Amino acid sequence: MSDHITEEEQIEAIKRWWSENWASIVLPVVILIVGYAGWSYWGDYKEARAQEGSAAFQVLLEKVEAQPGQKLSADAITDAQLEAQSIASEFSGSLYADMSNLLLARLAVESGKLDEAEAALNAVIASPANESVVGLAKARLAKVYAAQGKYAEASTLVGSTEQEAYKALYAEIRGDIALAQGDLPTAHTAYNEALNGLTSAQYSRRGLLDLKIQASKTEDVAAAEAEAAEAVVSPEGV
């Protein structure tokens, strides 16, 4: 009888212990399972969204691809702009949104709508998606500002950078800005800095920089300013 009572007491003790401690044992396991499921779902969701963004951006690129020697029609440009705006909105904060805004800016510059280009590029600069893309957006916005005559704002954007890939480009744009203002000595210095800062991947720009260096040495300020004006409004080469 004594052994039987002892066994019952042990069972009761186990029940009491379980009643008092089950939460500390079960809940961590449940949380772990739910957390893993949630993380797995989030990972799958992000991957699916990335694939959707990639597919949408590929469609956009096809819309803006013109035949060699031909320009996009007005309807094609409008269609591409709507598609780019849709991607920028739906995939906000992603690389695809940034690339779509860069494309919107390019189309706006080509149409002479610099205010629209400015807005699209500022949207990229405000995005944390990709530092390299932000660096490119700053370079393009500096060219837009220069074309608008906002030389101080343009100079601030390309004053310096820690990204090696953009050091030569920023120096070149500083030269374009100085040349547009008739400051040939500053332009000459900036162009030489750009030339000396070219990476091996950028070596194809050497010829253009040589021409700009020569332009910044000329006494014909009007010709030099014309050269600079072409440089600051062109979306090419950036």
pLDDT per residue over 75-109, tens digit each?
A: 888 898 999 999 998 888 888 899 999 999 999 99
**Contacts of 203 by beta carbon, 8 Å cutoff, 6+ apart:** none
DSSP string computed for 175-231: HHHHHHTT-HHHHHHHHHHHHHT--GGGGGGHHHHHHHHHHTT-S-HHHHHHHHHHH
The position carrying tokens 């906002």 is 150
Q: What pLDDT was estimated at residue 145?
A: 96
Q: What pLDDT was estimated at residue 151?
A: 96
The position carrying tokens 């269609």 is 79
CA distance 130 to 96: 10
DSSP string computed for 42-76: HHHHHHHHHHHHHHHHHHHHHHT-PPTT----HHH
CB pairs under 8 A, 24+ apart, for 131-134? Answer: 131/163, 132/163, 132/165, 133/95, 133/98, 133/99, 133/102, 134/98
CA distance 131 to 137: 10
Q: What are 130-150's pLDDT values in tens digits?
A: 888 999 999 999 999 999 999
On whether the CB atoms of residues 129 and 98 are closer than 8 A, the answer is yes
Q: What pLDDT was estimated at residue 193?
A: 95
Residues of the chain with pLDDT under 50: 1-2, 41-42
Predicted TM-score (pTM) above 0.85: no
Q: What pLDDT was estimated at residue 35?
A: 58
Output phi, psi for 57, to 5 deg.
-70, -35
Q: What pLDDT was estimated at residue 104?
A: 94
